[in-house]
Amino acid sequence: MVGGVIIPDDTKTYKVRAVMYLVVLDPIMRSLCEGREPGDLLFEQPGREGMMIREWGNASRDDGWLSVGLRRAGIPGHLTIHDLRHTAASLMVRAGANVKAVQRQLGHKSAAMTLDVYADLFDDDLDELSERMGEMLARENVGKMWAKEVSRAA
């Protein structure tokens, strides 16, 4: 972004990265693409090169584009872009995503940062992990690997 205008260019870190695309978004994205040429921006202010973020207001203010959109969608409360990013990352981890995949999705240098900052534990995570480990151990029959009890001579 330069002077509040989105300019298609390299990423902040100059690294190419692919981002996840949810197939459920296909109908919405297809309707946005109708009548556009390859390379056209999907979200722009008519008559402008790029999107003037300043003119759309601060996303998190009551009159900002995110707040207005959330109200229109019937989503209560106050959310920021970072709240949405944090939630998405936590849900990816909760869904069982490989931490390295989440790291790449977010563009972090290290998986440690991804886990430390974004991957909050849900209240039932440890209980669920305990159940899954128990199921795995039962399935693998690790009892056969345990050392036999040694009888002691009196």
Q: Which 3-state string (H, E, C) describes 73-133?
A: CCCCCCCCHHHHHHHHHHHHHHCCCCHHHHHHHHCCCCHHHHHHHHCCCCCCHHHHHHHHH
Give tens-digit pLDDT for 35-84. Answer: 988 877 776 655 555 554 555 556 777 777 788 888 888 988 888 888 88
Q: Is the per-residue pLDDT at 134 higher than 70? A: yes
Among the listed residues 88, 64, 92, 89, the one whose alpha carbon sits nearest the alpha carbon of residue 78:
64
Q: Are 32 and 42 in contact (CB under 8 A)?
A: yes
143 versus 137: which is more confidently predicted?
137
d(CA 43, CA 143): 59
Region 19-32 average pLDDT: 86
Q: What is the pLDDT, as a whole number, of residue 148?
A: 59
pTM: 0.58
Distances (CA, A) of 107 to 8, 11, 38, 121, 135: 18, 10, 25, 21, 34
5 versus 39: which is more confidently predicted?
39
d(CA 142, CA 105): 36
Provide the token pair at 92: 């990816």
Provide the token pair at 4: 């509040």
Q: Are 67 and 61 in contact (CB under 8 A)?
A: yes
pLDDT band for position 95 (cuts 50, 70, 90): confident
d(CA 58, CA 78): 13
Q: Is the per-residue pLDDT at 150 higher than 80? A: no
| Mean pLDDT, all residues of the chain | 75
